[in-house]
Amino acid sequence: MFGRQMKKTPSGIVPIIRIDRRAREPLHRQIYNAFRTGIVERALRPNERVPSTRTLAAELGISRIPVLNAYAQLLAEGYFESRVGAGTLISSMLPDQVPSPARPSSSSVATTGGSRTISRDCESFPSMQNVLPWLGGRRGAFSIGQPALDQFPIKIWSRLVVRQCRNQRFASMHYSDPMGSRDLRVAIASYLRTARGVRCEPEQVMIVSGSQQAVEITTRVLLDRGSRVWMEEPGYRFARNVFALNGCKIVAVPVDDEGLNVAVGIERCRHARAALVTPSHQYPLGVTMSASRRLQLLEWSYASGSWIIEDDYDSEFRYESQPIASLQGLDRCSRVVYIGTFSKVLFPSLRLGYLVIPPDLLDRFLAVRVTLDIGPATFFQSVLADFMQEGHFSRHIRRMRLLYRDRRSALLHSIRQDLGVPVEVKGEEAGLHLSLTLHRGFRDRELAERALKERLWLAPLSGSYQEQPAPQGFILGFSNTSAAEIPGAIRKLRSILRSH
Amino acid sequence: MFGRQMKKTPSGIVPIIRIDRRAREPLHRQIYNAFRTGIVERALRPNERVPSTRTLAAELGISRIPVLNAYAQLLAEGYFESRVGAGTLISSMLPDQVPSPARPSSSSVATTGGSRTISRDCESFPSMQNVLPWLGGRRGAFSIGQPALDQFPIKIWSRLVVRQCRNQRFASMHYSDPMGSRDLRVAIASYLRTARGVRCEPEQVMIVSGSQQAVEITTRVLLDRGSRVWMEEPGYRFARNVFALNGCKIVAVPVDDEGLNVAVGIERCRHARAALVTPSHQYPLGVTMSASRRLQLLEWSYASGSWIIEDDYDSEFRYESQPIASLQGLDRCSRVVYIGTFSKVLFPSLRLGYLVIPPDLLDRFLAVRVTLDIGPATFFQSVLADFMQEGHFSRHIRRMRLLYRDRRSALLHSIRQDLGVPVEVKGEEAGLHLSLTLHRGFRDRELAERALKERLWLAPLSGSYQEQPAPQGFILGFSNTSAAEIPGAIRKLRSILRSH
């Protein structure tokens, strides 16, 4: 307990103490009063370390004697305490004579005076409190977007981290290229050309913190407030949030077994400024966009002068059919902005992803990027460039594909064998999740809440639809759920569906 | 050269090859053609490593024999080459019979078909090409915003990095709290309460990638398009860019020797939604906002229901006068959003900073933050929390203050001694830069361009003004320019000013 407390407070910070040499009050009294007031008003908190008398005297530019006197008194009165090995600290047991805070503590500062107007877009924006548990980590079987972290080659990664640390130059601690490090951009461009059929040069690659930031930057460059944008229906809610926060008008375009239904999109809004699509493995249904739909979509974009945002978030994992090249690779007019992320292939807390930008828009993307956050941190870009160059990246993808294929097969088998409730399964050919549509009468949100108590993390399918009432079902992630765990989890799901 | 090339391309990536078992063409020929086409079309580039025959056969689900045959032919014809220790690569010298690219390479994809409409805000936004050299690192004496990186305790830091690496748990590789790690937020809150007089609890602290992202998030939460916002005149251009990109109307409020002139602000626009200020060390002039102005500013914000954004970017360094508490600490109505960064106290490529958020706005800041980029990367948050908790942080600040004080004194002395041109110096009491105003007749931009050729990095003061014509002068950073280097650099400046 004591150890934990200690671990949490920075030590040796010099507090703000105003010394007045001309005051009648002696120096030691001024120092005593400053600490006492800080403690009473809770600017200084129990177990925080106090600077040494030598340090404080030097900082205040006075002799050490008044500091020693003040510290002695504060110790004697119980405001400070000494602990072996830890030095002097604000006491964890404050003396009785300490009054309750005279001024309100910082947490109770008034927030009432005057109107508190915030931006309209932000005011009407949904709360994110409900995503916090999911962001907090695995909570049960079938969590989505969670790679098998226990299979990550952490030893190899750590070795590269340590090596990078040893080789670190001062230059790499400075601000750096806001587009990202050259080595990583070269490695990504080469990977995308080879494995994804993306047509790109390293100059077109911008390193970002993940696909979320990629969508945000793209939106800021391409879309105005009020611009209309096609979103897949159902579609990725977090991307829809970006458009909403930027005041864009979302046109819901249905997805069928061939992916986005381009004809319906044209019918609903021919002159949309952009379309966001997930052609390799539609989120959430999981279907792959057919070749004819891809060509239709490109034709539409050329004819209407629209942009296509291709989010290729988990295309590394295809299980049965042969690999399918990116939509970007088919584009002959640089209409596609291509987005990828390392969150699914490596690990989410790395916060690295990338954009492939049409050459004529590079300067605009750069301007927006610098304005939003200056640029990406350098260290892990170098580690990742090494990881890719030395072949660990491709090896890891191949290993994970085998593992996820097994888990996927176990899930499909168990749904057929153990679920005992008729459902429609889609999207199992690729990626880290499949979708399961329930027949009428089920309410996926209610079921998901009940399932959570039994450690099943079922993402309700209806939440991915904009138009209501929506089909009911679940998005089941299988990448972070072991094959052994799956049958039991499906039987739990069965009893939840049965008790409905 | 060869080593460098190798270092830059990821190895063993399996290219997209569509195998058709029913085709008349034998399998080895299909593989040969796929590679040859990839090379001719430059999807595969010289020196990229090719997957092993075993890997490729496994990936394609075929026997190894046709792969071996195809590779043998590609090697014989010079498309591939073998190098000891590097395996098989795309040849660096392609055979003569390779035609020039049949299709345009990706960099020459057309960008002409149809209109290419982008967002109006982005279209009219200034290019950032001119900041790239500065972001690229030190280019000469007097660079601004650059800490003395060679004085950073890199060994201690590296030790903490290695330890963090060893202790890494799988949980920390997942998505995590979008507000930032608990330990770091506790350490920052404690530091801010003690050293900066900020009134805050860890719950109010949000970890961001730096002050730029902090201003962006704050703007998205608080301001609408068309909202009016006070900016210091002169002021921080990068913050102004955030407001401009978000369509806010900037009200330039002059700065005098007491800081922002609140009365003029009220005269120009009483009902601005917000004011961005740098009270501890005004950017760029360097003046400290007086106590009466601070109270005036707070009174205005209470009366008009306006927000105050306090950017406390380099307040850790004060050289003569006693420390001055933050404006946020004086606020009794939670009207201040407080921003800080580790770019100046530690190093810029770390990309870590923080916001202190009024309690009633926490949910809104969280919603915007998740939508912009999900959350911060975890690894260096933990390293930094350790660095603070173990006392290295406060020790580093104290050491740097002494160093910067010396450099500052050397600069002041040399300006008096060696410059020989009458100038007005301001802002030398704190921070990492001072400002130097020239008398009439000088043009700071032209001079800065000439100075760059002599390795002096002079930021023109006029660039920080919104209203033109602006006073002419320079912002001189002294934190990354050694005391020994300063007199020579000032004499260079003298000859540049003289030859004007």
Tokens of A352: 């690295």
Instruction: Give yes or no for residue B406 having a pLDDT over 50.
Output: yes
Please say whether the beta carbons of A152 and A395 come within 8 A. Answer: no
A 357-396 residues with CB below 8 A of B?
Answer: 358-361, 363-364, 366-368, 370-380, 388-391, 393-395
**Residue A367 to residue B303, Cβ atoms within 8 A:** no
pLDDT digits (tens, 9 = 90+) for A8-45: 456 678 888 888 889 999 999 999 999 999 998 889 99
Residue A106: predicted pLDDT: 46
Residue A13: predicted pLDDT: 87
Q: How far apart are CA B38 and CA A196, in angstroms?
A: 12
pLDDT mean over A3-11: 50
Measure CA of the first residue to CA of the last residue in chain A; give whole Å: 45
Residue B14: predicted pLDDT: 87
Closest partner residue to A322 among B18, B136, B380, by Cβ? B18
Instruction: Give yes or no for residue A349 having a pLDDT over 80.
Output: yes
Provide, as residue numbers in chain A, all residues whose Cβ is less than 8 Å from the Cβ of B201.
106-107
Closest partner residue to B183 among A8, A150, A301, by Cβ? A8
Closest partner residue to A305 among B114, B224, B390, by Cβ? B114
CA proximity to A93, closest of A36, A47, A40: A47
pLDDT band at A204 (very low <50, low <70, confident <90, very high): very high
pLDDT band at B323 (very low <50, low <70, confident <90, very high): confident
If you measure CA to CA, which chain B residue comes closest to A199?
Answer: B106
Provide, as residue numbers in chain A, all residues whose Cβ is less than 8 Å from the Cβ of B51.
394
**Residue A10 to residue B394, Cβ atoms within 8 A:** yes
Pick the CATH number of A168-390 from 3.40.640.10, 3.40.50.1970, 3.10.20.30, 3.40.630.10: 3.40.640.10
Q: How far apart are CA B69 and CA B59, in angstroms?
A: 17
If you measure CA to CA, which chain B residue comes closest to A244?
Answer: B371
Task: Tell me the shortest Cα–Cα distance from B321 to chain A, in angstroms.
Answer: 10
Residue A97: predicted pLDDT: 58
Residue B280: predicted pLDDT: 94
**Residue A195 to residue B14, Cβ atoms within 8 A:** yes
Task: Tell me the shortest Cα–Cα distance from A49 to chain B, in angstroms.
Answer: 9
pLDDT mean over A389-405: 94
If you measure CA to CA, which chain B residue comes closest to A480?
Answer: B174
Closest partner residue to A127 among B15, B16, B367, by Cβ? B367
A291: how many CB neighbours lie within 10 A of its CB? 11
Which of A121, A198, A374 would best serve as a mutation to test chain B binding (most B beta carbons within 10 A)?
A374
**Residue B358 to residue A111, Cβ atoms within 8 A:** yes
Q: Is the peptide bond before B178 cis (omega within 30 degrees of 0)?
A: no
CA proximity to A479, closest of A388, A399, A418: A399
Residue B139: predicted pLDDT: 72
Provide, as residue numbers in chain B, all residues whose Cβ is less than 8 Å from the Cβ of A183.
7-8
If you measure CA to CA, which chain A residue comes closest to B374?
Answer: A212
Q: What is the ipTM of this complex?
A: 0.93
Evaluate whether the domain defined by A27-90 bears CATH number 1.10.10.10. Answer: yes
B323 touches chain A (CB under 8 A): yes
pLDDT digits (tens, 9 = 90+) for B87-103: 899 998 876 656 554 44
**Residue A367 to residue B127, Cβ atoms within 8 A:** yes
Q: Where in chain B is the domain with CATH 1.10.10.10?
A: 27-90
Which residue would you say has higher pLDDT here, B248 or B94? B248
Instruction: Give yes or no for residue B175 having a pLDDT over 70.
Output: yes
If you measure CA to CA, which chain B residue comes closest to A153?
Answer: B170
If you measure CA to CA, which chain A residue comes closest to B106?
Answer: A199
Closest partner residue to A165 among B158, B210, B395, by Cβ? B158
Residue B112: predicted pLDDT: 64
Task: Tell me the shortest Cα–Cα distance from B408 to chain A, in angstroms.
Answer: 18
CA distances from B440 to A184, B424, B471, B500 (A): 48, 12, 8, 12
Instruction: Give yes or no for residue A99 having a pLDDT over 70.
Output: no
A304: how many CB neighbours lie within 10 A of its CB? 17
| Mean pLDDT, rounded, of chain A | 91
**Residue A134 to residue B175, Cβ atoms within 8 A:** yes
Instruction: Give yes or no for residue B81 having a pLDDT over 80.
Output: yes
| Pick from A290-294, B95-99, B414-418: least confident | B95-99
Tokens of A179: 């587009």
Task: Tell me the shortest Cα–Cα distance from B182 to chain A, in angstroms.
Answer: 9
pLDDT digits (tens, 9 = 90+) for B37-76: 999 888 999 989 999 999 999 889 899 999 999 999 999 8
B421: how many CB neighbours lie within 10 A of its CB? 15
B175 touches chain A (CB under 8 A): yes
Considering only the top CATH level, what class is B128-148+396-498? alpha beta
Instruction: Give yes or no for residue A279 having a pLDDT over 80.
Output: yes
Looking up tokens 């828009």 gives A361
Instruction: Give yes or no for residue A248 having a pLDDT over 80.
Output: yes
Please say whether the beta carbons of B158 and B380 come within 8 A. Answer: no
If you measure CA to CA, which chain A residue comes closest to B360?
Answer: A111
**Residue A173 to residue B121, Cβ atoms within 8 A:** no
| Mean pLDDT, rounded, of chain B | 91
Instruction: Give yes or no for residue A2 having a pLDDT over 70.
Output: no
| Pick from A350-354, B140-144, B302-306: least confident | B140-144
Q: Where in chain B is the domain with CATH 3.90.1150.10?
A: 128-148+396-498
DSSP B42: T
A 439-478 residues with CB below 8 A of B?
Answer: none
pLDDT digits (tens, 9 = 90+) for B264-282: 999 999 999 999 999 999 9
Gyration radius from chain B CA atoms: 29
Provide, as residue numbers in chain B, all residues whose Cβ is less than 8 Å from the Cβ of A165.
158, 161-162
**Residue A325 to residue B16, Cβ atoms within 8 A:** yes
Q: Where in chain A is the domain with CATH 3.40.640.10?
A: 168-390
CA proximity to B340, closest of B206, B249, B247: B206
| Residue type (1 letter), B281 | H
Instruction: Give yes or no for residue A52 having a pLDDT over 70.
Output: yes
A159 touches chain B (CB under 8 A): no
- Dihedral angle sign, alpha carbons of residues A183, A186, A189, A195: negative
Render B215-251 in DSSP notation, one character per residue.
Answer: HHHHHHHH--TT-EEEEEES--HHHHHHHHHTTPEEE
| Residue type (1 letter), B120 | R
Closest partner residue to A15 among B154, B195, B371, by Cβ? B195
Instruction: Give yes or no for residue B155 having a pLDDT over 90.
Output: yes
Residue A107: predicted pLDDT: 47
CA distances from A391 to A180, B87, B91, B120 (A): 21, 12, 19, 43
pLDDT band at A409 (very low <50, low <70, confident <90, very high): very high
Beta bridge partners of B189: none
Size of interface A-B (CB pairs under 8 A): 461
CA proximity to B408, closest of B387, B430, B393: B430
